[in-house]
């Protein structure tokens, strides 16, 4: 069916979003894979464990023999049906296992018996993973970083998404980067998937914008539960910064929109009758997490304000009563924390401006970035 040959052109695979059929066991896939891969395994987790033990105890030939015994006609038919469905829907794709070895060749051979030629990726998952880690280092060394800073609620994520010269770190991490930043499902990718996607996005950026600077939102070393790669974050710390200016009422509105108005309907859709209880916990429990830094009296005041606002939201669908508590949280916690961090480690800001001015600066300076001018 496919006229493609086996490949080790990893650059082409990732730049062009080539579909990949991952024939590793589910436990391997769930630990780490690639954005355009789908798990259609040769062995399930139990079979993999049994055959792996046989390989360790008795060698490859005995492991292969056991694998053939486990591949009953029913199992073989199911595997072939699943693979053929992928092949028919993704004729431009490739298959891979961990090292591009026995499992890949076995899958190819079974498909060949059905008259289907489908190419494999040489070196498999291990080689592609190594390639992406190497390319992330290359990206860090070659791409000039510019960091967008600003007070909490300035809408930094909104701004970077309006310019092509960006990678959205919080989007990749599926987390807004604060105590209230987790999404409705509290889902974040695995650390391996996070690194893989970051590397791929930077790889694509290098090839699409080879002369451009890269705008990144100011982040700590962790976004939710995920850790930024060390060298990547170190470069962010040392990179030139631009500062987004936004007045307090607009910051309050942005936070209310991003964390309340947008999130509440998602909780209703996801949790139904339990939505009110779960959303209340999301708001109030996250507030309690910062109690130590906020202080007991201020925490109680903001907690009472948010509790009242939640009741109003559930009764009317309106979120405007959150503004008072959000304003207190910004003035009493987030802004002082930002000032403290700035005094602890001052940074040079090369430009300050409104959203429109930041976007214009980005267009004027990032497209053909002059490293000597700003670094």
Catalytic residues: 97
3-state secondary structure of 85: helix
If we measure between CA atoms, which residue out of 5, 57, 10 comes closest to residue 37? 10
Q: What is the largest CA-CA distance in the chain?
A: 73
Indicate the DSSP class of residue 273.
G
**Residues whose CB is less than 8 angstroms from the CB of residue 310 and which lie 6 or more positions away in sequence, other chains included:** 276, 279, 280, 283, 284
If we measure between CA atoms, which residue out of 265, 261, 266, 258 comes closest to residue 184? 266
**Residues paired with 149 in a beta bridge:** 243
d(CA 42, CA 25): 7
Q: In what order do the strands lie in the sheet with 94-96?
A: 37-39, 20-22, 94-96
Q: Judge residue 257's burial from the number of C-beta atoms within 10 Å of its C-beta, 0-12 exposed, 13-18 middle, 19 or more buried.
A: middle
Residue 277: Cβ within 10 Å count: 11
d(CA 307, CA 185): 22
Residue 13 backbone class (left: φ over 0; alpha: ψ -120 to 50; beta: rest) = alpha
d(CA 182, CA 224): 7
Phi and psi at residue 27, in whole multiples of 5°? -60, -35
Torsion of CA 336, 337, 343, 346, to 10 degrees: -120
């Amino acid at each position: 069916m496919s006229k493609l040959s086996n490949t080790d052109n990893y650059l082409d695979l990732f730049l062009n979003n080539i579909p990949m059929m991952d024939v590793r066991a589910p436990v391997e896939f769930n630990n780490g894979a690639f954005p355009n891969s789908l798990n259609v395994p040769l062995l399930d987790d139990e079979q993999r464990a049994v055959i792996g033990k046989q390989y360790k105890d008795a060698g490859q030939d005995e492991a292969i023999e056991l694998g053939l015994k486990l591949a009953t006609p029913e199992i073989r038919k199911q595997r072939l049906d699943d693979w053929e469905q992928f092949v028919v829907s993704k004729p431009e794709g490739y298959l891979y296992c961990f090292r591009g070895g026995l499992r890949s060749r076995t899958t190819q051979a079974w498909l060949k018996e059905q008259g289907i030629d489908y190419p494999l990726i040489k070196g498999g998952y291990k080689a592609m993973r190594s390639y992406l880690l190497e390319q992330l280092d290359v990206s860090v060394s070659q791409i000039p970083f510019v960091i967008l800073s600003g007070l909490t609620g300035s809408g930094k994520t909104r701004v970077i998404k309006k310019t092509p010269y960006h990678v959205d770190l919080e989007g990749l991490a599926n987390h807004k980067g604060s105590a209230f930043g987790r999404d409705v499902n509290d889902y974040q990718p695995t650390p391996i998937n996070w690194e893989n996607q970051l590397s791929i996005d930077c790889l694509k950026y290098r090839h699409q914008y080879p002369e451009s600077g890269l705008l990144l939102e100011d982040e700590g070393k962790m976004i939710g539960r995920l850790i930024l790669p060390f060298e990547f974050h170190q470069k962010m710390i040392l990179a030139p910064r631009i500062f987004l200016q936004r007045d307090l009422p607009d910051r309050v509105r942005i936070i209310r929109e991003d964390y309340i108005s947008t999130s509440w309907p998602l909780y209703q859709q996801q949790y139904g009758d339990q939505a009110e209880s779960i959303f209340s916990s999301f708001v109030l429990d996250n507030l309690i997490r910062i109690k130590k830094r906020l202080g007991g009296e201020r925490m109680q005041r903001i907690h009472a304000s948010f509790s009242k606002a939640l009741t109003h939201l559930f009764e009317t669908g309106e979120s405007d009563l959150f503004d008072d508590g959000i304003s207190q949280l910004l003035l009493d916690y987030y802004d002082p924390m930002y000032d403290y961090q700035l005094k602890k480690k001052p940074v040079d800001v090369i430009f300050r401006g409104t959203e429109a001015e930041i976007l214009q600066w980005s267009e004027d300076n990032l497209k053909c970035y002059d490293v000597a001018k700003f670094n």
